[in-house]
Amino acid sequence: MAVAESTTCSGRNAIERAVEIAESDEYRCEVIYGDTDSIMIRIPGASTVEAASSFAVRVAASVSESYEGKLSLVFEKVFKPYLLVKKKRYAGLKYTSPNEPPELDYKGFELVRRDSFPLCHELQRTLFNILIAPVPDDTPCLVQLAEDRRQAVVDYLSAIMQRFLDRAIAMDQLVMSKSLKRTYNNPNVIQHKVNMQIKQVTPGREFPPGDRVPFIIVNGDVIFQKNRVPVLRGRSTNIANRAVFFDFVGQHLIFTENVDWTYYVERLRPAVVQIMEYVSHEKIKEITQLFLTTSDVLRRSMRTFSDCSHRDIDSFFGPADHKLQEAPVVFADPPLRIDLGPEKKLPKRKLPSRSKAKGPAGPAGPAGPAGLAGPAGPAAKKPRMAAAPSAPVFKKLSAFFC
């Protein structure tokens, strides 16, 4: 434990000494980023790659001399231009030598994440190629060049969103994958459920632990039944229930027709926003609105699955023309009411009185033994009420047509 702590402490002291030398009065550099084994500095007055490289070599030599040969700091690369988002997340054009062409270098973005999909990688790489491109020497105005590049980003994103609305994106551009472990505390993880689909449909061909399982997200819970065509039911919030093995998408038309395009648009938005929020605050509002409009149009056109069938109510009206322009609001006509005949009222009926009619008392019975009263005579019968004449009943009939 003591050896490990001493190693970490020695590395931290080396980085702190390198920062002190770079920011000293001799060099006057600005340290903008520091890692466990490197630092990044902004060199004042260096307008070319050659000047920045020679200056960085002198700073590295001064740091190495301070350790008397026990530790050496080596110049690695020059970034021009450079975009630093946060710790361990940056991108820029990397120059390892003034005589070699630059190449795009990035770290921490979706470009290097394997759980993302190829379209997201392509989108971020294109954004970096637009924003972090070499500046021509004969550029008359740098401000106008920056504005043209920001507008080029908006135009490119508009074209991508239109491809989503036209469903013109290849399936292999939407494939995601996750690593399969041997055991899971939660068996409902997405890669495990997809592997169980493979085991159910084609036993013996499921992925072994350690491999990555490819899948696509569809608009409905995937149901596989033995000796039956797979179906979609409902749309739960658990994304694992809506994942399907990539090979099954090409085999069954129900999966190809019902890809969850909204899910992929919402996954692309943070990948774009995290870059553009450091480039232009004005364009970020336009870009956000573009993504929201596209998601809303796609959500309105999605099918709803309430049973085993994949038919929906939109099938009866034919395909819709999905464009970014908002459709005009049209209000339906009010329902038409038709009265079939005049209204007739029922005749009033006179209800009988609730008071009970009492008849005359009957004669007293014979006297009984001494001290006892005789039995009472029979009571008079109540008069019967005459039945009211039956009257015809008329009801009002109305019809509503929409």
The answer as to whether 371 is a domain residue is no
What's residue 280's pLDDT?
A: 85
pTM for this entry: 0.69
On whether residue 271 sits in a domain, the answer given is yes
Rounded CA-CA distance 235/305 in Å is: 7
d(CA 231, CA 246): 16
Rounded Cα distance, 260 and 243, in Å: 10
Burial 174-207 (b: 16+ CB within 10 A, else e): bebbbebeeeeeeeeebbbbbbebbeebeeeebb
Question: Residue 221 belongs to a domain with what CATH number?
Answer: 1.10.132.60
The predicted structure's pLDDT at residue 217: 95
Answer yes or no: is 130 within a domain: no
- pLDDT at 212 (0 to 100): 93
Q: Which residues contact 92 (CB under 8 A, 6 or more apart)?
A: 79, 80, 81, 82, 83, 104, 105, 106, 132
What's the pLDDT at 362? 52
Chain segment 173-213, per-residue pLDDT in tens: 999 999 988 776 677 899 999 999 999 998 889 899 889 99
CB neighbour list of residue 26: distance below 8 Å, 6 or more residues apart: 62
The rounded distance, in Å, linking the Cα atoms of 186 and 200 is 19
Q: What pLDDT is attached to residue 311?
A: 45
240 falls within a domain: yes
Helix (H, G, I), strand (E, B) or coil at 336: strand
Q: Examine residue 215 and state whether it is found in any structural domain, yes or no.
A: yes
Number of domains comprising the chain = 1
Cβ(232)–Cβ(222) below 8 Å: yes
Q: Answer whether residue 134 is part of any domain.
A: no
Which ranges of the chain have pLDDT less than 50? Answer: 307-332, 334-338, 357, 365, 368-373, 386-402
The pLDDT of residue 336: 47
Residue 62 lies in a domain: no
Calpha distance 254→309 (Å, rounded): 10
Residue 318 lies in a domain: no
Residue 244 belongs to what domain range?
Answer: 171-310
Q: What is the pLDDT of residue 298?
A: 93
| pLDDT of amino acid 87 | 81
What is the C-alpha to C-alpha distance for residues 242 and 232, in angstroms, rounded to an integer?
9
Environment class of residue 208 by beta-carbon count within 10 Å: exposed (0-12), middle (13-18) or buried (19+)? exposed
